Structure 1
Amino acid sequence: MMYKGLYHLFYQYNPWGSIWGNIVWAHSVSKDLINWKALEPAIHGSEPFDINGVWSGSATILPGNRPAILYTGITANNVQVQNVAFPANLSDPYLQKWVKPVYNPIITPGPEMNISTFRDPTTAWWSGGHWNILVGSRRKHRGLVYLYRSRDFKTWTKAKHPLHSVSKTGMWECPDFFPVPTQGKHGLDTSTMGSNVKHVLKVSLDITRYEYYTIGKYDPIINRYFPDNAEIDGWNGLRYDYGNFYASKTFFDSEKGRRILWGWSNESWTPDVSAVKGWAGVQAIPRLLWLDPSGKQLLQWPVEEVERLRGNKVELKYHHLKPGNKFEIKGITPAQADIEVVFEIPSIEKAEVFDPKWVDPQDLCIRMGSSNRGGVGPFGLLALASDNLEEYTSVFFRVFKTQNNKHVVLMCSDSSSSSTEKILYRPTFGGFVDVDLSADKKISLRTLIDHSILENFGAGGKTCIVSRVYPNIAIMDKAHLHVFNNGSEAVIVEHLNAWSMKRPRMNN
């Protein structure tokens, strides 16, 4: 949230170890979303209503610029309940002390509800003379979000029906519900309604450990949400990110009038290795989020503030990349870099035929890989690569054509060769990119590299993939960065900009 000129980030944290447990609400503040100062944790388990855990939740700015935190507490009897906390001193811009009212818990599960699947309250919105929040849950195998309403932010009543539910999706964690304008990149306060407004419902599925969202219409009169496209509701839904990205949350940045998305990228190491390392998990770079002009999906882009970390720059224009060739990007720090590249595809008619049975992009990326030559592609980047390519992570596109001469674009991030360490989880991730190549035959890629994490944004943020990688050889100044083309047709690097990235100030 934004409060008195400072961004406040609260996150799940174990102060006594790098494995899950002893969770508190850690608290950091920033003036620019990039450089951060760590404060003392905001909330510890201390009362009967949260003694066994203070789990995830949300912040809401109440009238009078009064912040409130809603969070899930685990009671002495291991029941999941919803609690509220308020700042002890509103004049303190750092909000260093928080108070839990004695009337907690404010919401408890009813007798018909599962006491162990009832968590993660959303930011509240004001509608119809009430505050409204959602709480994630499940009923047998049906995922759902319960809707609760209150006039005073103290006494809450459950609505007759869930706001939305989908069968066979399992537990819905970390729900998020917010408005987006039908035009423009600006964000909206969470309580905004209107004819030029759509709503987004995002849930994190505990079974798949991926996140899915839909865009639709919220009816505040009957308290129901209706996705525009019911066919992609659930496991077939759109995703913020097709890689290692979970438990995300958006907030409205009132200072700059934008909606910002935060997401958590977990480790690929085993918990015992993380315990030895002493740390685990990172927040991905915060992203600006807005509705695509088509209205069919959201677009995402790293916040503009990250560009302040850019240092030395190299630039390349109109480079012809022949089949089977690659070239190295020199003059920057490959282990910590920001790369923007536009590829032009002159022989797009040579794309291989797309099989309609290929419905899982991740499976397609695994089967085809970055070295299996196609017609148009694979082409893209080899990041965090060692001298002799014993290690590398490939980020690439592959273009197909359908029987009616439409194009299907596959985007992949393949970390199967990212490390010589064999015990690592080295997945391949993939997503389709909803882009029309018939007009200019071009597609763009932006990649942020920071030692153990790659954040990739395809086609201006239509498809995003985060990967965690841990090379043994290609580290620090021994890392290399290449542009490659393993397709049977040439591609053109129309424009490439790459920057060394400076270190932000973290936790000081």
Structure 2
Amino acid sequence: MYYNGVYHLLYQYNPKGAVWGNIVWAHSVSTDLINWIALEPAIFPSKVFDQYGCWSGSATVLPGNKPVILYTGIIDKNNTQVQNYAVPANLSDPYLREWVKPDDNPLIVATAGVNKTAFRDPTTAWLGPDGHYRILVGGRRKNRGVAFLYRSKDFKKWAKAKHAIHTSAGTGNWECPDFFPVTKQGTNGLDTSVLGQNVKHVMKVSLDATRFEYYTLGQYYPQFDVYVPDNTSADNWKGLRYDYGNFYASKSFFDPSKNRRILWGWANESDSTDDDVKKGWAGIQLIPRTITLDPNGRQLLQWPVQELNTLRGNNVHLNKQLLKSGDLVEVTGITPAQADVEVTFSFPSLDKAEPFDPSWRNLDAQDVCSKRGSFVEGGLGPFGLATLASADLKEYTPVFFRIFKDADKHVVLMCSDATTSSLKDKLYTPSFAGFVDVDLTDKKLSLRSLIDHSVVESFGAGGKTCISSRVYPTIAVSDEAHLYAFNNGTETVTIETLDAWSMNIAKMN
């Protein structure tokens, strides 16, 4: 949340080790979303209503500029989940270091028809036209994902709505639900309570069964407290995703200081638990992103917050650089292990786009990428960036595009392929990928990649498709890392412009 000039990040954390367990709400603060100060934990198990765990939740700033946290508490060894609240002990403390959990907790308990062991992660509240607050709590009925809706006039007494705001069959338990408005006009973010004709709503859920998230865009009817997704994307695990890589348990919030909605995502490790224990830590927050509605109305756009640019150092610029079939061009003069790269590729024609196999139409983009990786010569692509590369290319993480011709349209595939990222054993190295809903009239595709030692966070076509990979090179480390632009398609591709920056080190806790 943003409160009195300070950003607060509260997150699930084990202060006793690099494995899950002993979870508290750690607390870090920042004035620029980039440099962070760690404070003492804000919430930790201490009362009968959370003695077995303090799990995820959300913050809401109530009238009078009073923040309140809603969170899930575990009350017994049977994993019974309830919804609690906490408030700052001292509103005059600029960092809100201490939080109090009043004794009238819990606020919400599972009633008949609600699975009390799958009942968690309350959302930020919004205020309805009737003056009542509303929140969602994630859950499931058998294998159907559910977002339960609760209403309250005073933020203390909560009543469950007769019907869930939305459900979807076959999606399993919904964790970390998020529900918020986006404007159909312009790029400003909206406060969570905004309603109106020029507004769409976003419903995002994190799927416990698959460990990834999906979202839909649709219409919220406040008079009925019902959300109806548009028919432009699937309302299941095959639906739109914020990020097609290592990205989970995300949360957005409205930043009133800059009128924007900011999205946070968490990336787990992809190495072994033993490796995590040796490192002494596990899990990272990715770079915060602004989130807006694509002008096409069918999806969201994401982009790193503008404050990230303050870390940019030395710059290298290329333009009008031809990449013929098999070409590999090194980008020098920066620190490739810690860099920000923006590149726009162009191509003279779509004629060489390879046929899209009809049997792939039921596959995930990730499956297609695993069949048509960066090594496999195509017509138009693969072309892109080889990040965290060793000089001999024994290790590299390629982020690239391939363009296919389907029956009546072109299909753009974006991949971040970790299969060649490391010589180390026992790593999770998938071919992360997503399709890109982009107009190719101008015959251009853009890519931005944030490279930071063990993470490559990429934004395709201005943030239409995003992929974050966790990788662990053994050779391409620090000064031994290289960055290349490449083209393994038969069609010549041009680097219209490429800008790469060495990135300075942020202050992190």
TM-score (normalised: structure 1) = 0.98
In 1, are the aligned partners of 2:216 and 2:233 still within 8 Å (CA)? no
- Provide the C-alpha distance between the structure 2 equivalents of 1:151 and 1:445, rounded to a whole number of angstroms: 47
Q: 1:426 aligns with which of 386, 411, 429?
A: 429
Match of 1:6 in 2: 6
Percent sequence identity over matched residues?
65
Shift of 1:423: 1.2
Give the partner amino acid of 1:215: L
Q: 2:257 aligns with which of 236, 255, 258?
A: 255
Match of 2:31 in 1: 31
- Provide the C-alpha distance between the structure 1 equivalents of 2:372 and 2:319, rounded to a whole number of angstroms: 29
Question: What SS does the corresponding residue of 1:59 show, helix, strand or coil?
Answer: strand
In 2, are the aligned partners of 1:172 and 1:203 still within 8 Å (CA)? yes
Shift of 1:76: 2.8
In 1, are the aligned partners of 2:216 and 2:229 still within 8 Å (CA)? yes
- Provide the C-alpha distance between the structure 1 equivalents of 2:109 and 2:53, rounded to a whole number of angstroms: 15
- Provide the C-alpha distance between the structure 1 equivalents of 2:18 and 2:340, rounded to a whole number of angstroms: 29
In 1, are the aligned partners of 2:206 and 2:212 still within 8 Å (CA)? yes
Shift of 1:418: 0.6
In 2, are the aligned partners of 1:351 and 1:376 still within 8 Å (CA)? yes
Shift of 1:30: 0.3
Give the partner amino acid of 2:262: I
**1:282 lines up with 2:258 in the alignment:** no
Match of 2:337 in 1: 335
Which one is further off, 139-148 or 110-119? 110-119
Match of 1:396 in 2: 400
Give the partner amino acid of 2:346: E
Match of 2:244 in 1: 242
Match of 2:56 in 1: 56
Give the partner amino acid of 1:91: S
Residue by residue, what CA displacement relative to the aligned partner does 1:307-335 show, whole Å, maximum 9, x if unpaired? 00000000001001100111100000000
Give the partner amino acid of 2:66: R
Match of 2:106 in 1: 105
In structure 2, the CA distance between the partners of 1:230 and 1:159, relative to structure 1 (3 Å rule), is farther
Question: What SS does the corresponding residue of 2:238 show, helix, strand or coil?
Answer: coil
Shift of 1:114: 1.4
Which one is further off, 132-141 or 423-432? 423-432
Q: 1:192 aligns with which of 187, 191, 194?
A: 194
**1:362 lines up with 2:366 in the alignment:** yes
In 2, are the aligned partners of 1:407 and 1:436 still within 8 Å (CA)? no
Unpaired runs of at least 5, structure 2: none
Give the partner amino acid of 1:251: F
- Provide the C-alpha distance between the structure 2 equivalents of 1:99 and 1:418, rounded to a whole number of angstroms: 46
- Provide the C-alpha distance between the structure 2 equivalents of 1:49 and 1:232, rounded to a whole number of angstroms: 38
- Provide the C-alpha distance between the structure 1 equivalents of 2:153 and 2:503, rounded to a whole number of angstroms: 48
Match of 2:81 in 1: 80
- Provide the C-alpha distance between the structure 2 equivalents of 1:252 and 1:242, rounded to a whole number of angstroms: 24
- Superposition RMSD in Å: 0.9
In structure 2, the CA distance between the partners of 1:231 and 1:503, relative to structure 1 (3 Å rule), is closer
In 2, are the aligned partners of 1:291 and 1:299 still within 8 Å (CA)? yes
Residue by residue, what CA displacement relative to the aligned partner does 1:204-223 show, whole Å, maximum 9, x if unpaired? 01111111000001011111
Question: What SS does the corresponding residue of 2:359 show, helix, strand or coil?
Answer: coil
Give the partner amino acid of 1:431: G
Residue by residue, what CA displacement relative to the aligned partner does 1:110-166 show, whole Å, maximum 9, x if unpaired? 132212100000000000221100000000000010000001111100000000000
Number of aligned residue pairs: give it: 505
Q: Please show how residues 213-228 of structure 1 align to structure 2 within 5 Å.
A: 213-228=215-230
Q: Please show how residues 111-130 of structure 1 align to structure 2 within 5 Å.
A: 111-127=112-128, 128-130=130-132
Shift of 1:36: 0.4
Question: What SS does the corresponding residue of 2:254 show, helix, strand or coil?
Answer: strand
Shift of 1:235: 1.4
- Provide the C-alpha distance between the structure 2 equivalents of 1:187 and 1:93, rounded to a whole number of angstroms: 25
Give the partner amino acid of 1:379: F
- Provide the C-alpha distance between the structure 2 equivalents of 1:149 and 1:415, rounded to a whole number of angstroms: 45
Shift of 1:231: 5.4
Shift of 1:230: 7.0
Question: What SS does the corresponding residue of 1:470 show, helix, strand or coil?
Answer: coil
Residue by residue, what CA displacement relative to the aligned partner does 1:405-440 show, whole Å, maximum 9, x if unpaired? x21100000011111101111111000000111x21
Shift of 1:488: 1.1
- Provide the C-alpha distance between the structure 1 equivalents of 2:439 and 2:256, rounded to a whole number of angstroms: 34
Residue by residue, what CA displacement relative to the aligned partner does 1:364-417 show, whole Å, maximum 9, x if unpaired? 00111101001000000111011111110010000011233x211000000111
Match of 2:499 in 1: 497
Give the partner amino acid of 2:251: K
Shift of 1:93: 1.3
Q: Please show how residues 172-191 of structure 1 align to structure 2 within 5 Å.
A: 172-191=174-193
Moved over 3 A (4+): none
In 2, are the aligned partners of 1:334 and 1:500 still within 8 Å (CA)? yes
Residue by residue, what CA displacement relative to the aligned partner does 1:266-285 show, whole Å, maximum 9, x if unpaired? 00011122112100000000
Match of 2:391 in 1: 387
Unpaired runs of at least 5, structure 1: none
Shift of 1:356: 3.3
TM-score (normalised: structure 2) = 0.98
